[in-house]
Amino acid sequence: MNTIETDYIVVGAGASALAFTDALISRTDADVVIVDRRARPGGHWNDTYPFVRLHQPSATYGVNSSTLGSDTIDVTGVNAGYYERASGTEICEYFDQVLDRQLVG
Ligand SMILES: Cc1cc2nc3c(=O)[nH]c(=O)nc-3n(C[C@H](O)[C@H](O)[C@H](O)COP(=O)(O)OP(=O)(O)OC[C@H]3O[C@@H](n4cnc5c(N)ncnc54)[C@H](O)[C@@H]3O)c2cc1C
């Protein structure tokens, strides 16, 4: 059996866990192990229907170290005139990048 030594173990790789871990490692030298029963980060967003979107603007969601979306106002569709709101697919792709680029050292 292999033993892993770490400072923190975070259960879950959803939005809450990734925001916590992102903030923790940006301010400390802590080592973190994240475990999730799912094979991919993003938590419940992995299971959403394609039409499901955030209720709030994308740029105000996610982890501190990386902006979700491009912080622009939609010009077409039912959200025209409002700040873009990411879909579940876009959120999961964003969390993939956060994990690969920011969190995995
Ligand atoms: C349609 C919709 C729109 C939403 N819009 C917004 C919005 O605009 N703004 C907002 O702030 N929130 C919004 N939410 C709420 C959303 O739930 C949260 O933003 C966030 O995604 C929740 O993340 P979480 O990490 O707390 O939970 P989850 O996404 O549920 O992630 C928890 C993770 O922990 C894992 N896990 C749990 N227990 C264990 C265990 N024992 N062992 C291994 N793994 C485990 C699970 O597999 C899962 O991947 C929305 C929700 C929905 C459904």
What's the average model confidence in pLDDT over 4-29? 97
**CA dihedral over 75, 81, 83, 86, signed as positive or negative:** negative
Structurally, the chain folds into a number of domains equal to: 1
- Give residue 1 CA to ligand 1 midpoint distance, Å: 31
b/e map 4-42, b = 16+ CB within 10 Å:
eeeeeebebbbbebbbbbbeebeeeeeebebebeeeebb
Report if residue 58 sits inside a domain: yes
Parent domain of 56: 8-103
Report if residue 35 sits inside a domain: yes
Distance separating alpha carbons of residues 105 and 102, to the nearest angstrom: 7
Measured from the Cα of 17, ligand 1's closest atom is: 25
Residue nearest to atom 27 of ligand 1 (CA): 14
Report if residue 44 sits inside a domain: yes
In this predicted structure, the answer to whether residue 105 has a pLDDT above a threshold of 80 is no
* Dihedral of the alpha carbons of 20, 21, 26, 28, in degrees to the nearest 10: 100
Please state whether the predicted TM-score (pTM) of the whole model is above 0.85: yes
In this predicted structure, the answer to whether residue 20 has a pLDDT above a threshold of 90 is yes
Report if residue 2 sits inside a domain: no
- Give residue 94 CA to ligand 1 midpoint distance, Å: 14
Report if residue 3 sits inside a domain: no
